[in-house]
Structure 1
């Protein structure tokens, strides 16, 4: 599958991969700043943003989408940065197609199984009544019971479009719902390792990367370096300057 992409800058190629219910545009200012030194390609994952909708959210399929899209852009090898679900895609790309990954940056996720709040979010989004003339604020209000955090509600309803006043989801919501067990899992190929330079960045106030994950990370990515920022899960959004400094230093 060829994914939708947003490209900026010139130089060595750098691929950015967003998290669940995100989109390439979420990299915004960071992509522009990185574009001062790199040819930045931010991809919408399948069933996200403006990329095609399709069944299957297995990370091997998602990584294959990235490799195919890189090739379509004439990119043989790139530095790859992924956050959350995008970090899992980046890890799987490195493990299954190491020849296309020059350096790997994984932001606040581990190669592990998670049971997060996302299933409840998906169910609430599917249950919403979308009516002509509805505003984004009114749509967000329908999520209040299932999603108490205002910021998360605002993030989720960014996936609504309002063509002709009729709201609709631009994400492949049903495909994501069916694929939630695959999104939560991470099944590395037997015996796979990525021996290129790897950086894991965790938020110290995030529950996603813990001491219990370190042995598995080292097993799959033996040339790993760990850094942390005083943030929650959204490391690149909560501390963009700190995140950029770590990434820029590592990539260069």
Structure 2
């Protein structure tokens, strides 16, 4: 599958994978900073997200293979791979399957364990948007507010809106496939998966996605891993405390 990406800067390649219901645009600010520090940053849309192709098939194995195909088709080598949330799971899977194409791995606020589906309300809200005939972003936000109370999460989700025609808004997401495969999003890393190169796990201080108990599991899969906690941040670490997040990344690199 030919993934869509935005490439910034020149230098050693850093590939960035967004989270569930996100898109590469969510990482543009961080991408520009890393490009300014001398890296070639690839902001990638994963399948069924952003401007990448849609497919009924959706799991971490196919998304890891999508990434390998992207790296091969762009003749990239010695890559640094950074993934947030769902993107972190894709990154972990790809690192264990194709360690030779990577130098370092950065996983943001997700552990290699199983997570039960917890996006029901959000998916219902997005479904309501898809079924309604909306002609303004304001209408979409009002409708989504009935399902999602947090304004920050609403704004993040509404980035998926685009003008399909001059008068009709639509979502870039392949919502049908994502709802159908929702169980796949929380899947644990393969029990035998191991990546033996330098790895950084970043967690938000106010997030419960990576617990102290998870550190033993992280060490099992990633023997060279270190875990860093970013203060004053939740699950969207890079947006909530960008300065400390970038500092942690640069120190690791």
Place the TM-score, normalised by the shorter chain, in its bin. Answer: over 0.9
- Tell me the secondary structure at the aligned position of residue 213 of structure 2: helix
Superposed displacement of residue 57, structure 1:
2.0
> 1:64-101, CA deviations, whole angstroms, 9 ceiling, x for partnerless residues?
11110111111133001111111111111111111112
Structure 2 gap ranges (5+):
none
- Tell me the secondary structure at the aligned position of residue 43 of structure 2: strand
Rounded to whole Å, the distance in 2 between the matches of 1:225 and 1:117 is 27
Rounded to whole Å, the distance in 2 between the matches of 1:131 and 1:58 is 31
CA RMSD of aligned residues (A): 1.3
Structure 1 stretches of 4+ with a deviation exceeding 3 A read none
Question: Could you tell me which residue of structure 2 aligns to residue 167 of structure 1?
Answer: 169
- Tell me the secondary structure at the aligned position of residue 144 of structure 2: coil
Question: Could you tell me which residue of structure 2 aligns to residue 93 of structure 1?
Answer: 94
- Tell me the secondary structure at the aligned position of residue 114 of structure 2: coil
Question: What is the TM-score with the length of structure 2 in the denominator?
Answer: 0.94
Question: Could you tell me which residue of structure 1 aligns to residue 46 of structure 2?
Answer: 45
Superposed displacement of residue 167, structure 1:
0.9
Question: Could you tell me which residue of structure 2 aligns to residue 249 of structure 1?
Answer: 251
Q: Structure 1 residue 78 and structure 2 residue 84: aligned?
A: no
> Is the Cα–Cα contact under 8 Å of residues 130 and 168 in structure 1 kept in the other structure?
no
Of the structure 1 ranges 171-180 and 139-148, higher mean CA displacement relative to structure 2 is found in 139-148
Question: Could you tell me which residue of structure 2 aligns to residue 30 of structure 1?
Answer: 30
Rounded to whole Å, the distance in 1 between the matches of 2:51 and 2:193 is 32
Question: What is the TM-score with the length of structure 1 in the denominator?
Answer: 0.95
Superposed displacement of residue 248, structure 1:
1.0
Question: Could you tell me which residue of structure 1 aligns to residue 149 of structure 2?
Answer: 148
Q: 1:116 to 1:205 in 2, by over 3 A?
A: farther
> Is the Cα–Cα contact under 8 Å of residues 92 and 189 in structure 2 kept in the other structure?
no
Superposed displacement of residue 243, structure 1:
0.8
Rounded to whole Å, the distance in 2 between the matches of 1:123 and 1:79 is 35
The alignment covers a number of residue pairs equal to 249
Rounded to whole Å, the distance in 1 between the matches of 2:44 and 2:81 is 11
Rounded to whole Å, the distance in 2 between the matches of 1:152 and 1:79 is 28
Superposed displacement of residue 49, structure 1:
0.6
Question: Could you tell me which residue of structure 2 aligns to residue 6 of structure 1?
Answer: 6
Question: Could you tell me which residue of structure 2 aligns to residue 18 of structure 1?
Answer: 18
Rounded to whole Å, the distance in 2 between the matches of 1:241 and 1:116 is 31
Question: Could you tell me which residue of structure 1 aligns to residue 187 of structure 2?
Answer: 185
> 1:140-166, CA deviations, whole angstroms, 9 ceiling, x for partnerless residues?
211223211112112112111123120
Superposed displacement of residue 120, structure 1:
2.3
Question: Could you tell me which residue of structure 2 aligns to residue 131 of structure 1?
Answer: 133
Superposed displacement of residue 236, structure 1:
0.5
Structure 1 gap ranges (5+):
none
Superposed displacement of residue 116, structure 1:
4.7
